[in-house]
Structure 1
Amino acid sequence: MSFKEDVADLAKRAISAQAVAQTEEATKNAIIMPFLRVLGFDVFDPTQVIPEYVADVGLKKGEKIDYAVKIGSRIEYLVEAKSVSTNLRDAQFSQLFRYFHTCDANIGILTNGLHIWFFTDLEAPNKMDATPFFKFDLLSYDDNDLKELEKFHKNNFSIENIQAAASSLKYLRGAMSFIEAQWANPDEEFVRLVARNFYEGKLTGAVVEGMKPIVRRAFDDLFRQRAKHKIDVAFDGGADEEIPVVEDKKIETTPDEIQGFLIVRAIAAELAPVSRIVMRDAQSYCSVLFDDNNRKPIIRLHFNGKSKFVTVFGADKEGTRHNIAAVEDIFGLSGALKEAVSSYLA
């Protein structure tokens, strides 16, 4: 299978394991070891993957890291595993920090099987950064995420390329954070920067203050126009050079998924324009996203199996599973769905 198909198959495995693999060991066996296989490593070959790797770290003797992954004779990845129920934002991973320096590894990986965080040493050589440069969500990813993940495959490994990409991702994340902050509440300096391109008068404090809601509205309108255009292209089958639509013949959007999407859209319409509620189908589930952003999930429709269930996301972006007998049962989840939408409007 292709790398994309391997990851899709792993995502299906993760969905099944999510309900039963609650311990760390079960998570390792069910998802993390298969993930390392997807990256091209033989998990049963100790020259490639060393489980429970032991090293003396300063005064601490005999500490273990879950996996040390070798390429050739060098340890390149250190993997610290958590149970599938662990929220990585709350996870302690001090061992990963200590081992990173001692083993001269290039990449630290923290994962609960569903979410995979990648660390390196952009801030200071041989000292692992406190924040990951790349996060991969096995249950919510796009083609750009796949391209980044594929760089970690054994056959593609190049620390120079990875660190160059890490640096770019770091700055991209910073730029997105800045733009998002300015979108929500533009500061005076940013408003002046924008306004001086079209306002001919003197930009006094009062004028700048009056421009703030205009700049916010400009952000909103521009995004809605682009989102509407993208939706029109997808549903009308038109061609677009800037935003190409890639057809995946293995993905079939079913009538139930369309009905579920329309129900969610109707519920969300009480809080936000319907153009901001977007459907994005995948092989194993159908997502409904806010602003067509996979980092702003509202609900996932799991209608491809024998039984139907949905995953609704809260303000913390953690998903909660709900079994349903019929698509119409989604109406009973309106409170949770409105909470998810509200969290993206704040």
Structure 2
Amino acid sequence: MRSMPRLVSLAALFVLIAALGSTFFQVIAPYLLPLFLAGMTAVVCQPLYKYFLARTGNRLGWAAGITTFSIMAAILIPLVTGVLVASLQLYTFAHSVSDDREWQRLLSKMRTSAESGSTSVFERAVDFGNQFLPAEKQLKAEEVAQQLKNRIRESLNQVGDRSLGVAGTTVGVLAGAAGTIAHFAIGLVIFALALFYFLCDGTNLLRGAQQLIPMHAEYQRELLEEFAKVVRSVVVATFLAAIVQGVATTIGLWFLGFDHLFVLFVLATLFALVPLIGTWVVWMPCAIALLLDGHIGSAIFLMLYGSLFVGTLDNIVRAYVLNTDTKLHPLLAFISVVGGLQAMGL
């Protein structure tokens, strides 16, 4: 009977801890991503922090503040500039594609090929589709091109107007996206504050955590150093591979005569960061456009260039960075990258 009060007290304590833990998790759950990114950034940017720490005479607050300001400037300045420039170029691209002169050139080319007896890839595709339609619903290539013109113009005009609104930061866009902007701003502030305190008090936090781990302090230090090295290598390899793929894609499109290269570079780099996607989202529509325009050789070259060269750069850059930073054997690093992609189904 004496154990009953203890069991009741212990159960009440567990319930209280669970309730407080659940409440605490609900409070911080919306901002777990900024906290996680701040922690990873603090690990990756340790060399920069140590540089400023030595330059400021081991003043933790000053070094952490300068490092945080430098990182935020390195993130925000290219981001804002890129969004503005890309939005303006996207607006120009949308209206240039929907220009009547381009479609008149395409229709004139179709008429010329029809008069000469030759057929383009676009016309052959229309003829192939007409085989599965009744006679009253079959269309000529010129009629299909006219319908495509109207639909693409309508869609791209909407995209262009939205892009111009983003570039000009109009009151209507700001009002419509007020909630998203506020959430992003709060997350950005939490990221900056967490990054500052992770840099400034990271040593004390690690020292307190080490006291709770039943392992020798020297072994913990070595594990943390290896973990930081691996995280830094993976992050650098990911972003460097995406940038290299974006540059390679842009060079290929520039060689084939495409315009608005900054937008294409930004899109290729962003899609290269996304698993299961990649830069083919950018170069494949361009290859299809070349194919429909009759440039079959250029289209085949772009597809081979994108799939064989640009697609392989990802594995090469990742393996090189992992081999350089983590001192893995090149063969082991390459097999790790390719095997990881296959295991994850990417």
TM-score by length of 1: 0.24
Structure with the greater alpha carbon radius of gyration: 2
| More strand as a share of residues | 1
TM-score by length of 2: 0.24
